[in-house]
Structure 1
Amino acid sequence: MSSPERISILGVLAILLATVLLVVGGNLWKTNLKVRNVTVRGNVNVESNQLLQLAGIPKNTPLYDVDLTHVQRNVSSHYFIRRATVERDLPSGIRITVEERTPIAIVAAEKSVYLDEEGVVLPSTVSRMIYDLPVVSGIPSAEVLTPGTVVANPDMQEALLLLSVLKQANREMFHRVSEVRLRNGGDIVLYSAEWGVPIIFGRGNIADKVARLEMFWTEEVVERGAQRLQYIDLRYDDQVVARWADEMSVGRKM
């Protein structure tokens, strides 16, 4: 065997040996990494301790023995968690990032529950927050509201869409609504937090009605006072019909 061939073989062997040493060393390094801390981000409604308990990662567990998918599934089982991601945070951490479900309405029943904008039923007992939310009333007695399920009633779905559009358009106006009354397929009626003014919302055409309500409340009700207002009717195209104390019903083009 010539010298160049011997050099070439020795070079290949050296590379193989270096590769083996790197792999073995890397595995030894990974084996020595332990979980020292687990952090939770993105949670507002849910206590971090609740999510850490669900994650179930003991300290000093070998970092690469943690099944990230299993932890993700456990954390996502919480009613208020829409989705979760779990990552290793070298050299000694696990990072859990969550996106929560946010209640948009409350149903006052034997056991009060929250509803988010997707209609997911959330228990009122597992959140650390106290919410200022509209109450949805008039729900059929046959409607079962089990935490974790999604409401199927069309009236409830439209009411939640209404509240979602209203909240996105004007949070202040959203908080002016104290109750959303369902009427078994009939017109949806809102009641204001100020003086309990009925707002006959009707059905459909939600974005347009929300815009008209917002404009009318800002330009008329704030100026004249809700205490004199007997009702608002949004069922007519391009106008708001309202009745004030000691006045006939008046329709205003909006």
Structure 2
Amino acid sequence: MATRTPDQKRARRRRLVRVAGGVVLAVMLAAAWVWQRTLPLERIDVVGAEYAPADEVIALTRAVPDSVALFSLAPALIADRAQRHPWVATASARRLPTGTLRIAVEERVPVVLVLDDAGRASHFLDADGFAMPADAASPALFDVPVLTGAPDYHPAQPVADAGLRSFLAALAQADEATHALVSDVEWGRRATLWTTPVAGHGSVPVRLATDAGHDDQLRRLRAFWDQAVLPQPDVRFDVVDLRFDGQVVTREAGPGAPTDSTAAEAATPPA
């Protein structure tokens, strides 16, 4: 039998160590795979929800603790189900090694409060036209205009009226001062906005286009208010009309009224 040299012996030991290490690694990987496959779902946490009740979000996921393996749940599917709640705009899900399924949600932000035919609070609408039930949050918590003439509540689909969605998006993007001008909105064949009452002027009706261009209309309203209404406390306006591109058409109240005038120069947005 040939005698191994010291180098051969060291090489043989290295091979044995590598083989043993491979076996240990394989065992550890197999154990980790078994652990992952069998780790039970122990609890579900919902974070970021204030107006979407956690139990309602959890029910939508169809995941029940102690009834399923945690890592058998698909995070994308869980998030998609959570987003079916009317108050949830976006959701994400994570499976934690503690046996916890964590669902993080971002809720929709109300832009208007819709009143029903009897004048009662029905639901909110967000900037995309999605509806959120008003019974989940007191309308007093949100300083938003009231809207009449909107379509009936739908828990999953945005309002079909593209013009109304345009107005909601514009109102959501308006600055604080412009937003504060809007008190009530009536939507229908002829859309009308009522301004927040101010001393000497009361609430002024403002006619809007019903199709598009509402961001520009709100900018013109703000500019007209700052340049023509507030500096003239003795002038009363019966109506303000924003339906014409680049113009603000008004009818003033007082001696000799009604008279129509076009105040295009007052529609210049502030720099």
TM-score (norm 2): 0.71
Aligned ranges 1:36-47 → 2 under 5 Å: 38-47=44-53
The 1:164–1:44 alpha-carbon spacing in structure 2 relative to 1, beyond 3 Å, is: farther
The 1:102–1:61 alpha-carbon spacing in structure 2 relative to 1, beyond 3 Å, is: same
| Partner secondary structure for residue 222 of structure 2 | helix
Aligned ranges 1:1-150 → 2 under 5 Å: 4=8, 6-7=12-13, 9-27=15-33, 30=36, 38-55=44-61, 56-58=63-65, 63-64=70-71, 66-109=73-116, 112-125=122-135, 127-130=136-139, 131-138=142-149, 145-150=153-158
Identity value in percent: 24
Are positions 1:211 and 2:219 aligned together? Answer: yes
Are positions 1:245 and 2:253 aligned together? Answer: yes
Give the letter aligned to residue 144 of structure 2: L
| Partner secondary structure for residue 79 of structure 1 | coil
Deviations 1:108-157 (A, max 9, x none): 225823322222233323x2342343333345xxx65432223223xxx2
| Partner secondary structure for residue 239 of structure 1 | coil
Q: Counterparts of 1:174 and 1:50 in 2: how far apart (Å)?
A: 32
The 1:244–1:106 alpha-carbon spacing in structure 2 relative to 1, beyond 3 Å, is: same
Give the letter aligned to residue 110 of structure 2: P
Deviations 1:209-240 (A, max 9, x none): 22111111223333445993322122334332
How many correspondences in the alignment?
245
Q: Runs of 5+ in structure 1 lacking a partner?
A: none
Deviations 1:69-100 (A, max 9, x none): 45324322211112211012444543211122
The 1:132–1:86 alpha-carbon spacing in structure 2 relative to 1, beyond 3 Å, is: same
Contact 2:123 2:133 in 1 (8 A): yes
1:177 corresponding residue in structure 2: 182
Higher Cα Rg: structure 1 or 2? 2
Q: Counterparts of 1:213 and 1:78 in 2: how far apart (Å)?
A: 36
Q: 1:220 aligns with which of 215, 219, 228?
A: 228
Contact 2:92 2:103 in 1 (8 A): yes
Q: How far off is 1:168 after superposition? A: 1.0
Are positions 1:163 and 2:168 aligned together? Answer: yes
Q: 1:192 aligns with which of 192, 195, 210?
A: 195
TM-score (norm 1): 0.75
Q: RMSD in angstroms over aligned alpha carbons?
A: 3.5
Contact 1:163 1:174 in 2 (8 A): no
Q: Counterparts of 2:51 and 2:138 in 1: how far apart (Å)?
A: 6
Deviations 1:199-218 (A, max 9, x none): 01235433322211111122
Contact 1:192 1:199 in 2 (8 A): yes
Relative to structure 2, which stretch is displaced further, 76-85 or 201-210? 201-210
Q: Counterparts of 1:122 and 1:245 in 2: how far apart (Å)?
A: 40
